[in-house]
Amino acid sequence: MPRKIPFSIVHASSSDDAYSVKELEVHNPLVKGWVTGRFCLYPQELVLRLTERARIRKLQILSHQFLIGTKIEFFIGNLPPDHITTLHGTRYKRLGYVSLSDNEKTGFKARELKSVHVDAMGQYLKLVIHKNHVNKYNLFNQVGLVAINVIGDDLLDQDEKPVDPTDPSLKYLLNTYLPTGRSFQDDPTGSHDNDMPDPAIWGAINRPDYISPMDDLAFDMYQDPEVAQIIRKLDVRKNEAVLQERYDLAKRLKQAIADLQKVGEKLGRFEVEKRRAVENEDYDLAKIKKMQMDEYRLQIYKQLELHDLLDITRSERDKLRTPPREYSPPPPTLETIQESPRQPPPQRQPEPVNDERPLPALKNSPRREPSPDTARTVEEDSAGITGEPEPMTEKQMREAGTVIDVFGIHLVSGAFSKTWSYREDAFVAIYKQMEEMPTGTDKEELRNLLRAAIFLIQKGIRDKVFAVFNAALNLLRMILEEWIPKHKIPKQDTTHAVDKTLPELLARTGDTAQRLRETDIKFIVEMAQFKEVRSMVPHTCVQPFKLSMATRLAVSRVVIVEKLLNQLGLEKNSGLTVDNVMKFCVNALDHNAGEVRDGAVRIIFDLYRMRGDEVREHLPPDEPSTRKNTLYRQIFEGFDRIDGRPTEAELKSQQKAAQKADHERKQAQINALQSELQQLKDLASTQGKKDADDESKSGDINIHINVVSGKDGASSPNKNTRQLQNKAKSTKASSIADGSEFGEDIDKMCIFCNEKNDDFNEEGLDLHYWKHCPMLKRCTHCKQVVEISGLTEHLLTECEKRTQFAKCPRCHEAVEKAQLDKHVQEKVCSVARSKDQANRCPLCHMNIAAGEDGWKKHLMSRDGCKNNPRRELALKRAQEQRGKAGAGRGRVGKAGAGRGRGTSRTPRK
């Protein structure tokens, strides 16, 4: 009968330091398997040596979940007779190959179990592994095998012989399976016919294709090692009971084996979770898992009465009660630590994907192949556990009296049991009972059922075991999302369910176990989106909490509100408003934990992006005194960034940079003006005597170029000043030559607006041009002072930004190129006339009278251009000057009149 054949690995082409090839020789849930070296050369080879020469019937390969080879070839080998045992002397025969899936459909979380049937004899088995499937987790192009299993028959010599009842090789089997008191040794000739086993039993033993499920690779890889050994012992006792025709015992043993298989798989997962918790240094979780395993193991052993089924002694029974020695993996190395970031953390132990098929090389064999075994899938199921939970205490029965009336004493006893698996099963049973309840059930019955379920859910939420806590959440989710809408439960009962469970859920958000805390927060946010309770949950979550609240609780509350705001927003029925969220945040800003304050600030920023200035109404005014507080300065600066405005620190930095640039620009302009002044002086000194005499006659009309700065810090450009001064010089010279009426006072008069002022010296005129003359204007783009009449020409030909302007074909004004198409299409301007008919004012965009007088009247008169800011100032100064001049003439006239009267009087003779 085929059985599992032990083997040892005698050769491997390469091996990763953290995944030894010796891992393949052990089968249990904690093995890591073998992995090739990084960036190894393919194909890779593995050579297995069986303990003895055997007839191989079945090969099983459990592949890694993401380090997967594309193909594996199988070879069987033997050593020549009288050959020295060496690897290089082995002669191999190719059996065939199997292809492996790339595992992309399973998200690289499931392991593929390949089971193939062969029929070959030998002692050496060679696996040739071809290149790997490429995926995002396989960073170093490696291939990994978690386990290898070989099933076959032992051979006493090279030639296989048919099974014969008289064959001495069956001595062990017959001695094992014959009833007590009967032995094959007593009559090796087989003359005692009455001592031979039943023909039906003998036929089962003689089946050449029967493989025990205990020899399957999935059995050892997903079973707790201790439970696996117990199952094997029970299987032997079951066969003995069948031979002894003790069928009641055989039935009990069969049921115990089925129950223990599920228990062993569950304990195997617990062991994996405990090991993962230890690797993550979550020792609280590891301790809980260990306690769960010990409690669960002893409870099952007691329920199944294993000491009776196994018929063991007291000493053996004490050993059985002792927890098994844990599998001790090799100590972590640097390579192991570096390996962990590239492995996706599976949520649970990967399940085998069975694929049993004959090798391609054997498909055309004339021999009839045995039918493949049925694929097994490891399932998480607690069914089959026998026994009853312990009786409830009197206090518990008083506490749960109404619940017992609804669900019965058996189910409620499980919910109150000290064994966590009973508590979990109770919630699963309630879930199924409520889910299967038909519509149209009496409303009072539904109400009692809901309140009883909520009572137990409250207890489950407070449970310390995560499995029970999670089962309670699943039940609550089904009630709120499906059961209440299905049976149209009244609003008051729905409110009762939320009011009783939500405070319990919020309390567990401060739990020390991170896994439980994160699950709780996720469920609360999910709960807020259920249609029937959508507005109730957010309204409770945004209630301000006490500043003495524990940090974990406060942080979790802030995280919940932040997630609710991002997912629900401020819609009408979301339960969130600017008012209640800001009250929550302002309260959280006073908490002593920085994590809580930072979370509140994030919520305020999210809220500001939604509603803007409504948020500011709930905060102190944005004043320098408020910004002295670091927290509020951080908030207001965040508002500035959201609005696209520079912060206070950024403004100061920009001001310093602008001042520095302005100072450098001033200095450059001063240097340029001084250079030009020196050139003018040099030119004047070389002029002839005639020019010097003309200058003395016409007065001092030498214009000195100075930089005069206004209050705004801007300075007049040198080119612009030179143009104005040259024009003034030319005009003054013409006035003197023509005998103008202004000839005597030409030095104290502005030649553009004709204003006279005793302060009009060299610097006074420059200041007048720069600040006050109504006929001039500073260009907003280059800060040069130009005549308003020539502003359009300046923007098109002289300005530093002249490339940004173009001439409108209709109004002939300078328009920014970016706005020209819109300006022309919308026809917002009027048609310009020719220069001999009218002038075009660039300030008010109107056609005015032609000639120089037309410009002066438009820019200087009381009814002139409304868009000329200097016009009214010039009128005001002119009025003040006329008032002063009139007052002076009046005083002179009175004095002269008095003197005239005095001198004209002559006494009478």
Please tell me the predicted confidence (pLDDT) of residue 326: 39
> Kindly report the CA angle at 10 between 4 and 14, in degrees rounded to 5?
115
Q: Are 184 and 174 in contact (CB under 8 A)?
A: yes
Rounded to the nearest 10 degrees, the angle between the axes of helix 648-685 and helix 718-738 is 40
pLDDT of residue 425: 92
pLDDT tens sequence across 431-445: 999 988 888 888 899
Given a cut of 70, is residue 621 above it in pLDDT? yes
What is the pLDDT confidence band of residue 509, given thresholds at 50, 70 and 90? Answer: very high
pLDDT of amino acid 141 = 93
Question: Average pLDDT over the chain, rounded to whole?
Answer: 77
Task: Tell me the torsion sign for CA atoms 648, 650, 652, 655.
Answer: negative
What count of residues does the chain have? Answer: 909
pTM: 0.38
Cis-peptide into 43, omega within 30 deg = yes
What spatial distance separates the first Cα and last Cα of the chain, rounded to whole Å? 179
User: Across residues 46-71, what is the average pLDDT?
Assistant: 92
CA distances from 106 to 69, 265, 331, 499 (A): 16, 21, 31, 41
Q: What is the pLDDT of residue 83?
A: 56
Provide the 3-class DSSP secondary structure of residue 811. Answer: coil
Contacts of 690 (CB under 8 A, 6+ apart): none
Of 781, 758, 785, 792, which Cα lies nearest the Cα of 771?
785
Tell me which DSSP letter residue 91 carries: E
Q: What are the tens digits of pLDDT across the range 328-345?
A: 444 433 333 334 374 444
Tokens of 764: 């006074």
φ and ψ at 477, to 5 degrees?
-60, -45
**Residues 301-310 pLDDT 10s:** 877 776 667 6
Neighbours of 317 (CB within 10 A): 14
Res. 42: pLDDT tops 90: yes
pLDDT band at 755 (very low <50, low <70, confident <90, very high): confident
Confidence category of residue 80, pLDDT binned at 50, 70, 90:
low
Q: 314-321 vs 283-304: helix axis angle to the nearest 10?
A: 150
Residue 665 — φ and ψ, nearest 5°? Answer: -65, -40
In the block, which residue shows the tokens 């083997």?
7
Type of residue at 78: N
Could you read off the pLDDT of 220-269 as tens digits, one per residue?
Answer: 888 888 888 888 888 888 888 888 888 888 888 888 888 888 888 888 88
For the residues 194-216, what does the mean pLDDT come to?
A: 60
Q: Is 308 left (phi over 0), alpha (psi -120 to 50) or beta?
A: alpha
Q: What is the DSSP string of 499-515?
A: HHHHHHHHHHTT-S-HH
Query: What does the pLDDT look like over 571-581, one tens digit per residue?
Result: 777 889 999 99
Q: Report the alpha-carbon distance of residue 626 to residue 71 in Å, rounded.
A: 71
Name the CA radius of gyration of the chain, rounded.
Answer: 51
In order, the DSSP letters of 555-622 are: HHHHHHHHHHHHHHTT-TTSS--HHHHHHHHHHHTT-S-HHHHHHHHHHHHHHHHHHTHHHHTTS---
Strands, E assignment, 681-834: 776-778, 785-787, 805-807, 814-816
DSSP code at position 774: T
The average pLDDT across 862-878 equals 86
pLDDT score of 704 more than 50: no
Residue 102, pLDDT above cutoff 80: yes
The pLDDT value given to residue 627: 84
pLDDT > 90: what percent of the chain? 30
Q: Which helix (H) or strand (E) holds 47?
A: strand 44-63
Indicate whether 648 pLDDT > 70. Answer: yes
DSSP string, 822-887: HHHHHT-SPPPPPTTT-EE-TTT--EE-SHHHHHHHHHHSTTS-TT-HHHHHHHHHHHHHHHHHHH
- Tally helices (H) and strands (E) across the chain: 33, 15
What is the per-residue pLDDT across 105-146, written as a single tens digit (0 to 9) for each?
888 888 888 888 899 999 999 999 999 999 999 999 999 999
CA distance 406 to 829: 86
Q: Looking only at Cα atoms, what is the longest distance across the chain?
A: 202
Residue 717 tokens read as 């450009």
How far apart CA 548 and CA 264 sit, in angstroms, is 47
Q: Taking Cα atoms as reference points, which of 218, 224, 225 lies closest to residue 376?
A: 218
